[in-house]
Amino acid sequence: MTGPDQPQRLRLARYAGYGAGDAANNLTFSMASAFLLIYYTNVAGIPPAEAGTLFLVVRILGGVTDLAAGRIADETTTRWGKFRPYVLFGSVPLLALLVVVFSIPHGLSPAWKLVWAYVSYALFQAAYSTVNIPYGSLAAAMTQQPSDRARLSTARLIFTAAAILVIAAVVSPELSHAANLQHSLTITVAIFAIIGVAIYAWCFAATRETVQRDAERFSIRATLHMLRHNRPLVILCSSSLALYTGVFGAQTVGIYYAKDVLGDTNLFIVITLAQTAGMIIAALAVPRAVGAVGKKVIYLAAGSLCVVAGAGIALSPASLPALGIASFGVLGLGTGAIIVVLYAMVADTVDYGEWNSGVRAEGLNYAIFSFTSKVGLGVGGAIAAYTISIGGYTAKAPTQTHAALQSIRIAAGGLPGALVLIATAVMVAYPLTERAFRALVADIAQRRAAAQLPGDATTPQPSPPAPAPQTRLPSR
């Protein structure tokens, strides 16, 4: 690191630069989440059940590469910091692989198309780990101020929402009107790739790593000990597993909901706009609400809102498309609020790990969280694909059977609502309130001062067997 943590608020350029990085992330991530299943089924001709198994296998493998990326990032030392170099130099192979994923050659046999899909998507997931894990870890290295972390999450969500809206506006019409959909999608993702490289460069240039951390490299055993005893991280990951399984299941079949349930592929743009509006409203409102009620309360309230939205998506009649679209808007509001506090909570668990065990591991903390998210992504995508397959969905059919339409409703709303309900129930046990977090950050500062640490060099100070009264996690 190049300097101590700065107590003052970050400048606007820092927020914007960091948030822009997630716009670049979502040119790859959301493109795959929203359109890869329909690309596999309707363009490449891969059956839904086989595509579902592919999602399950490859995305869980992506979680494993997240763990490796987190460990490697924590061991990295450069003049640019630990995490920023990966954002810059990892972007080109990641975005090139996005083009390969959406470019399965038309003349291949079904078996070789599946091989292409497995290999290209697995390589893409590995490349995404090398960029996204350092990017996600960067927030904890930029500041320890809770309000700044909430604002970084807000900036991240706003840029994410903008990227998702652009993707939907560009790709949805192609699905209905492109004469050669394969060629059209290849050109589109190639343009996204060029734009993404430029945005990642902006993120690299605008951000800085300033939080003081230990210069000593910790053994895997010490790091695993920290993770095992990091109760807030364990609860957060358990909740996010159910949350992401539900949310990504809904995202995977959103295009099917517009195309087949509502009867108009272009309504996916309207659905995305409604979700984006909800996410932006949440992003603007949540940082101030964090100071008033705390991140945990916001998570629980937003999770309950998502459950209501899931029911609305599943039960809204096709004759009233506005009701289904509005339900997606409510889902965007709830998930937007959760995402804002979720990423700030992950950063908070880094500080808890240092306070509790003397080990600060931003990369591996975020990698553990991302691993559970990837598992949720894989399971959610697989469940969605299996559900529409069981319902009898037929690719390229002019109309779908009643059973197929019901299966899309269940995959888009019913299952996500139930899974988010589980995620919300798990978060009731989350112990790290705002008051508790402020107490442990103050104790970390006292330990460093007592050790008289010069510059950035720190020696890990193990937690006492029984925390002193001022360091015990208080209830809110």
Q: Count Cβ atoms within 10 A of the Cβ of residue 387 and give its class: 0-12 exposed, 13-18 middle, 19 or more buried.
A: buried
Q: Which pair of tokens denotes residue 388?
A: 């529409």
Q: What per-residue confidence (pLDDT) applies to 59?
A: 86
CA geometry: angle at 21 spanning 19 and 22, to 5°? 75
Q: What per-residue confidence (pLDDT) applies to 371?
A: 82
| pLDDT single digits (tens) 244-267 | 999 888 888 999 999 999 999 889
| pLDDT single digits (tens) 40-93 | 988 999 999 999 999 889 988 888 888 888 878 878 888 888 899 999 999 999
- Give the contacts of 126 (CB within 8 A, at least 6 positions apart): 61, 62, 65
Q: Where are the alpha helices (DSSP H) in 294-361?
A: 295-315, 321-357
Can you list the residues of the chain whose pLDDT is less than 50? 1-7, 215-216, 453, 455-471, 474-476
Helix/strand/coil percent split, the chain, to 5: 75, 0, 25
- Give the contacts of 40 (CB within 8 A, at least 6 positions apart): 46, 51, 54, 117
Pairwise CA distance, residues 42 & 259, whole Å: 12
Pairwise CA distance, residues 10 & 147, whole Å: 10
**Domains of the chain, first to last:** 12-209+226-446 (1.20.1250.20)
Question: Can you tell me whether residue 324 is helix, strand or coil?
Answer: helix
Closest among 344, 347, 418, 350 to 383, alpha carbons compared: 418
Q: Count Cβ atoms within 10 A of the Cβ of residue 427 and give its class: 0-12 exposed, 13-18 middle, 19 or more buried.
A: buried
Q: Which pair of tokens denotes residue 316?
A: 């809204």
Pairwise CA distance, residues 399 & 393, whole Å: 10
Q: Which pair of tokens denotes residue 162?
A: 């903008």
Name all contacts of 32-35 with Cβ < 8 Å and 24+ positions apart: 32/98, 32/101, 32/121, 32/124, 33/248, 33/251, 33/252, 33/377, 33/381, 34/164, 34/167, 34/168, 34/171, 34/251, 34/252, 34/254, 34/255, 35/167, 35/171, 35/255
Task: Evaluate whether 474 touches 440 at the Cβ level (below 8 Å).
Answer: no
Q: Count Cβ atoms within 10 A of the Cβ of residue 453 and give its class: 0-12 exposed, 13-18 middle, 19 or more buried.
A: middle
Q: What per-residue confidence (pLDDT) applies to 466?
A: 34
Closest among 287, 209, 223, 261 to 401, alpha carbons compared: 261
Residues constituting the chain: 476
Pairwise CA distance, residues 179 & 71, whole Å: 46
- The predicted model scores a pTM of 0.72
Q: Which amino acid is at 283?
A: A
Pairwise CA distance, residues 214 & 394, whole Å: 56
* Helices 434-451 and 321-357: angle between axes, nearest 10 degrees: 30
Q: What per-residue confidence (pLDDT) applies to 6?
A: 44
Q: Which pair of tokens denotes residue 88?
A: 């810059």
Q: What per-residue confidence (pLDDT) applies to 462?
A: 44
Task: Evaluate whether 235 touches 429 at the Cβ level (below 8 Å).
Answer: yes
Q: What per-residue confidence (pLDDT) applies to 464?
A: 40
Q: Which amino acid is at 423?
A: A
Closest among 377, 22, 17, 36 to 189, alpha carbons compared: 36
Q: What per-residue confidence (pLDDT) applies to 225?
A: 65
